[in-house]
Structure 1
Amino acid sequence: MSTEIPILHMTAFADGPTGGNPAGVVPDASALTESGMQTIAARLGYPESAFIVDPAVDEDRRHLRIRYFSPGAEVPFCGHATIAAAVLLATDRGVGEFTFETAVGPIVIDTQMTTGGEVTASFTSVSPLIRELQPDVAEELLGLLGLTPADLDDDLPLRESFAGNWHPIVAIREQGTFDAFTFDPARVRLLMDAQGWTGTVTVVHAITDAFDDFEARNPFPVGAITEDPATGSAAASLGAYLRAMNKVAPPARLTIHQGRHVGRPSILKVDIPADGGITVTGTADIV
């Protein structure tokens, strides 16, 4: 049945023609079972794919129900697939506001047309949470990344941050260390599963002292993938983390560069209000 279901191949957050994070988008997955969606996601092999399981909740074409699957499992929320799906919908149904019902709650997405004719999408996360990273987990995580506490940015302590998925935030002080770290995907996957990290491990380097410009690398071992090119939920989690740690003065805007290390340069814009959800903005294109 999956071969009869229209599937759009898209990329989100691209910074140039070869960049961005690929996602499959199924505009109408109402006839698919959970196993059918998982099979399609595994066959596509993208970090995540989005399945619109109800294209019009209560016949409202701007209110939809959506599910996300990686090649290995269902994911509660996915930022880049949300951006891709919203841009696709805006192109078909007109720009404006959409509401996606997700496993973590309703997500509001604003879509706009730029003066150059490009559609942008901005999702606002659920209310974020921040918590301490347990010392034994922090030690294991750093060891798996080949890092020591001396490699970390003293201004940005280890934490876990949630804005749809839980992400550990690891901030590296020196650019060279950030560029050079490596990891064993299988061992990182085991730790992520044990800790319930359904998103990515978020490793960042602050480009500016004002903490408004970062580069990110996001280990995400699943299938043939080891490192995610652009992670919207992690971008929201980083914004929430910076606000909670009093490193920015809201309202603040943050730029995140990601994907350079896997040959898919990406750029994510993050708006941090004084409270509530974090807004992440990007573009998407059909491949």
Structure 2
Amino acid sequence: MNPLRYTAFPTPNGGGNPAGVVLDASSMDAAEMLSLAGELGYSETAFLFPRTEREYAIRYFSPKAEVDFCGHATVAAAVALAEKQLGAGDVLLSSNVGEIPVAVAVGEHGLRATLTTVTPATAALEALPELCETLGWSAQDLHPTLPHSLAFGGLWHPILWARSRQRLARLDYDFEALRALMLREGWGTVSLLFRDSPALIHSRNAFPIGGVVEDPATGAAAGALGGLLRAADLLPEDGCFTVLQGEDMAQPCLLEVDTSGEGGVRVSGTARSIPAE
């Protein structure tokens, strides 16, 4: 099995979040997929199972476990399909959380994929005090008016807003304690944010359950965030905003989020093939 390697959500100047892609995993079982994801060492690898020419089942594995949904690996897989087999156009991916339509088009910086999440949801973040203690955040570190909440766009993510960009830049938490809390609560990542403006949000996503301290780009969390901001009426007039993630890791990533209309949230970005070493 020769997996493809792509980096998703790069900025025009580089960066991005690496993902593995297997275009036809029909012969693989879960143990083999987990083993391959561990060998690659990326936060997620996408495994595709062809159904029709433009319909696929998709599964995602981190080095530690299967993940029900992953945005950056979805973008990587859709661009890989377009480059290697299908060309630009629409593809329908059936994940563990439901159907994920993806549109791939030729853009200014190469192929650009736009995924649409399942219908988003929000819930109260009952574990906020415990989460803050685990992260080493005090009440003074939290933004006083933005909603600290749970948000869903395929996975549940706690959403915490930092009072300052400087606070967001400091990420030093108890890895095992946060991992245990996330497993107990069923969270996908922990989304830590600073709102520069309604149209520009800086993001960091802790991902210890995936075996890494931080994920450079998290499309699932960006989609969930879009649903939360739509529900809270905190969006620009056109319903669109940009998420900058991975900046503090020297892996800058650019995610464009469109919450206009109803139903799923659209998350867009490019992906580029990583040359073989």
Tell me the TM-score normalized by structure 2: 0.95
CA contact (8 A) 2:243 2:254 kept: yes
Which aligned pairs between 1:149-168 and structure 2 lie closer than 5 A?
149-168=139-158
CA contact (8 A) 1:6 1:27 kept: no
The corresponding residue for 2:192 is 203
1:21-73, Cα deviation, whole Å (9 max, x unpaired): 11000011000011110111111111000000x22x1xx21111110001111
Give the whole-Å Cα distance in 2 for the aligned partners of 1:133 and 1:274.
26
Letter in 2 for 1:237: A
Secondary structure of 2:208's counterpart equals strand
Give the whole-Å Cα distance in 2 for the aligned partners of 1:181 and 1:104.
30
CA contact (8 A) 2:64 2:211 kept: no
Q: Percent identical across equivalent pairs? A: 41
Alpha-carbon distance, 1:97 to partner: 0.6
Match of 2:63 among 58, 71, 93: 71
CA contact (8 A) 1:205 1:214 kept: yes
Gaps spanning 5+ residues in structure 1: where? Answer: none
The corresponding residue for 1:126 is 118
Corresponding position: 1:269 with 2:251? no
Give the whole-Å Cα distance in 2 for the aligned partners of 1:267 and 1:213.
11
1:232-274, Cα deviation, whole Å (9 max, x unpaired): 0000011111011111256411100000111211110000123
Which aligned pairs between 1:134-283 and structure 2 lie closer than 5 A?
134=126, 137-197=127-187, 199-208=188-197, 211-222=198-209, 225-248=212-235, 251-283=238-270
Give the whole-Å Cα distance in 2 for the aligned partners of 1:226 and 1:18.
21
CA contact (8 A) 1:147 1:181 kept: no
CA contact (8 A) 2:69 2:154 kept: yes
Give the whole-Å Cα distance in 2 for the aligned partners of 1:16 and 1:252.
23
Letter in 1 for 2:99: P
Alpha-carbon distance, 1:282 to partner: 0.4
The count of corresponding residues between Structure 1 and Structure 2 is 273
The corresponding residue for 1:100 is 93
Give the whole-Å Cα distance in 2 for the aligned partners of 1:204 and 1:251.
21
Secondary structure of 1:216's counterpart equals strand
Corresponding position: 1:42 with 2:43? no
Give the whole-Å Cα distance in 1 for the aligned partners of 2:58 and 2:209.
21
Tell me the TM-score normalized by structure 1: 0.92
CA contact (8 A) 1:123 1:279 kept: yes
The 3 A distance-change label for structure 1 pair 249 and 215 is closer
Letter in 2 for 1:279: R
CA contact (8 A) 1:87 1:111 kept: yes
Give the whole-Å Cα distance in 2 for the aligned partners of 1:51 and 1:277.
23
